Chain A
Amino acid sequence: MKFALSDEQISLRDAARAFLAELPGPHAMTEQDGAYNADAWSRIVGEQGWTSILIPADHGGWGFGRMEMAVVLEEAGRKLTPSPLFSTVALGVTAIDTLGSDAQKAEHLAAIAGGATATLADQGSVTAQRDGDGWLLSGEAVRVIDGDTAEILVVWTNAGAFVVPGDAVQRARVPGLDTTRPLATLRFDGLRVSDEARLPGADLERVRLSAGLLLAAEQVGGAEDVLDVTVDYTKVRKQFGKPIGSFQAIQHACADMLVLVESARSAVWYAAWAMDVGAPDAELAVRTAKALASDAYFRCAGSAIQLHGGIGFTWEHVCHLHFKRARAGMALLGEPSVHRAAVAAAMLDGDSAWT
């Protein structure tokens, strides 16, 4: 029994933190046209190799677990680093690794290890129709994370998942609440794909759970950052002749934030471990992690704005970026209430006693 990061995981975290501190802040990276900073991304892939963490060694990756990925995403979440990291590893890699055949993995995971970006389009109304020895894809996929730029797209249809090149479809970014994480609508107008493009796996739910867990890891990092920023500010901002951090109302709000952050972190770490080892309670553990981390991030970001006063309401400040990312992320990969409903079903509807 050891519920703590290993020395290697701590080194990974520290290296990630040091590296991310060198990158331009989220404002500088999103202000222009919302495009990702290409230099930062090439360093993430080239220097840090984070897109290879979850890719099995056979396919050119590191073959590490979700725990290592969670450690890195916590750091990325903390710095709100705009990049296709989340979509590529949590959605692209996970979908291809979970649903793909060996040949598909060999091709696409190797491409990702080599620097390609990827994402998953599983919301909307895309249908696949048989067309000779291939398929015709039609319809619209919505709220696709990084859908406008991803080089490899995994599309979920009535006939399962297909992998297609990103530039084969019409795609447009949609205005998003969270400016650090673009969403796009994809249109398929009878796109013809070969049968080899169809992924044999059917367990989309597993892909979504795995991705939800990784989003939760990112949310823990974000929540911790708003807490840190807020505590630092309350130590220096003076009113009534004292630091505002000496006022009890402020202290208690920060204490509540710490409870949320550390609880969510416990949930995320456990869920990562449970999925990695295939523990029987992995699904419920992930649902717990996503629900608690989403709620924690949103509540902490809201408190942070309040405790900063007017400055917290400005565009220049980092608070609103966290606040928007928190609310948008809450809506992705299952709202907290959706996960609670699933837990309630396990507790109340099954005849087997829960533990």
Chain B
Amino acid sequence: MDMSFSAEEELFREEVRTWLGEHLVGDFARLRGRGGLGDMDAFVEERIAWEQELGRGGWTGLAWSKESGGRGASLVEQVIFLEEYARSRAPGRAGHIGEGLLGPTVAAFGTDAQKARFLAPILAGTEIWCQGYSEPNAGSDLAALQTRAVRDGDNWVIDGQKVWTSLAMVSQWCFVLARTGAGSSRHEGISCLLVRMDQPGVRVVPIRQMTGNAEFAEVFFDGATTPVDHVVGPVDGGWKVAMHTLAHERGASTLGQQADFTNELRALVQVAKDNGAANDPGIRDRLAELWMRLKVMRLTALRTLSAHDRGELPREAMITKLFWATWHRDLGELAMDVLGPDAAVLREGHDHDLHRLFLWTRSDTIYAGTNEIQKNLIAQRALGMPR
């Protein structure tokens, strides 16, 4: 047991901090605090430019292996980076789906040609990706998906519909799960296709969320095409590929989540001090409870990370998504209670951020596996309860 960072790790922290301090200036300075969850449609152009700035600095693909062009950073270094990134209030990453989901999937399952074609632009921030999994009839039950791709000469021809596709409106590429096998059903005969978004067969219709803005969209495929060699992993064997991607979505990439959450809790504490809510015993009790659970979120993440180093997937890793999603939703609810009567009024500034937090966090317990699905997984996989 040693919870301190080594001298090299502290040097790394210093390097990240210095770089961010020197580059989050000029046009980028006003991006501080913007573009995070619930705000992903803000300053998109500017955030893509920032993504490219990060790429030039070698700060994209931290977790990627060196062969993939990444930094090959350790998990501890990744956590340090994310903590410093949040501390500097650097903007929400426009390229997070490519970096966090598609890139690792291509690195694990892709051909050499695919790696050569797709990885570098993600690192450079020049190609933005979206994830085409969910469909109107396939949400929690992803294996019910119906989008179909049929072989036609050198191309796949894709027909169907995706929904809730985050950032589809700004993406150049989408990784699409589609049925390719004859007589395909459930987990069999699915493939993972890499599809260009700017083509006649693809139509994107933004969906306005309960937050009022649109971060996700419907995506219609109507005879869209992609070359036959743009399938990641085996044709008809895409389920395994999809599960690999989901593991990333729910796993290590959320290790730094608590760093952003700390900023939010800190901001809420300031509001509570300013408006007097900090004198209310009930509010104090709940702020303390959230602080404690935030600390524990970090600790459990670090425990998971130490187990990773030993090549284990411990059961505490399986509680991560449920834990942070529920924590964040509780924070959103407490934010309204801190505002008190002003919860009913929409205002600019801090209040605005708190309302966005309150509304956005209703989605945290839905995407990347709903709380109910997480509990099913914990019961069945971590506790071995019967199906």
- Which B residues lie at the A interface, using CB under 8 A? 1-6, 9, 76, 266, 269, 272-273, 278, 281, 284-285, 287-289, 291-293, 295-296, 299-300, 302-303, 305-307, 309-310, 315-316, 319, 322-323, 372, 374-376, 378-380, 382-387
Contact = CB atoms under 8 A, between A and B. Distances in A.
A202 interface: no
A251 to B, nearest CB: 3
Contacts of B316: 262, 265-266
Given A252-B372, A291-B292, A270 B3 contact: yes
A267 interface: yes
B310 to A, nearest CB: 7
A344 B287 contact: yes
A255 B292 contact: no
A262 B299 CA distance: 10
Interface in A322-355: 337, 339-341, 343-344, 347-348, 353-354
Interface stretch (A51-59, A175-183, A242-250): A242-250
A255 B378 contact: yes
Given A258-B315, A266-B299, A251 B375 contact: yes
Given A1-B3, A231-B384, A246-B385, A255 B322 contact: yes
A4 B306 contact: yes
B375 A1 contact: no
Interface of A: 1-6, 9, 67, 231, 234-235, 242-243, 245-246, 248, 250-252, 254-256, 258-259, 262-263, 265-267, 269-270, 273-274, 279, 284-285, 287-288, 291-292, 337, 339-341, 343-344, 347-348, 353-354
Contacts of B300: 262-263, 266
Contacts of A273: 1-3
B293 A347 contact: no
B278 A348 contact: yes
A56 to B, nearest CB: 20
A17 to B, nearest CB: 18
16 contacts: A1-B302, A2-B1, A231-B385, A245-B385, A255-B375, A255-B376, A255-B383, A258-B383, A267-B299, A269-B1, A274-B3, A340-B284, A340-B285, A347-B291, A348-B273, A354-B291
Contacts of A256: 375
A255 B269 CA distance: 31
Nearest to B294: A288
B101 to A, nearest CB: 25
Given A3-B306, A251-B385, A252-B375, A340 B289 contact: yes
A235 B386 contact: yes
Contact of B292 (A231, A246, A265, A288): A288
Contacts of B4: 1
A343 B1 CA distance: 25
Given A1-B302, A343-B292, A254 B1 contact: no
A78 to B, nearest CB: 16
Contact of B291 (A246, A251, A274, A343): A343
A1 B1 contact: no
Contacts of B2: 1-2, 273
A344 B292 CA distance: 10
Given A255-B376, A291-B292, 14 more contacts: A1-B306, A4-B1, A9-B1, A242-B386, A252-B379, A254-B383, A263-B293, A266-B299, A285-B295, A288-B295, A288-B296, A292-B293, A340-B292, A341-B281
Interface of A is mostly: helix
B379 A255 contact: yes
B306 A251 contact: no
Contacts of A245: 379, 385-386
B3 A3 contact: yes
Nearest to B382: A258
Contacts of B6: 1
A278 to B, nearest CB: 12
A251 B379 contact: yes
A259 to B, nearest CB: 5
Given A1-B76, A254-B383, A288-B292, A266 B303 contact: yes
Contacts of A337: 285
A265 B76 CA distance: 21
A332 to B, nearest CB: 19
B313 to A, nearest CB: 14
Contacts of B379: 245, 251-252, 254-255
A254 B372 CA distance: 12
A292 B315 CA distance: 19
Nearest to B387: A246
Given A6-B1, A270-B3, A259 B319 contact: yes
Contacts of B269: 347-348, 354
A73 to B, nearest CB: 16
Nearest to B376: A251
Given A3-B306, A348-B273, A235 B382 contact: no
B303 to A, nearest CB: 5
Nearest to A345: B284
Contact of B284 (A242, A262, A341): A341
A279 B1 CA distance: 13
A298 B285 CA distance: 18
B133 to A, nearest CB: 23
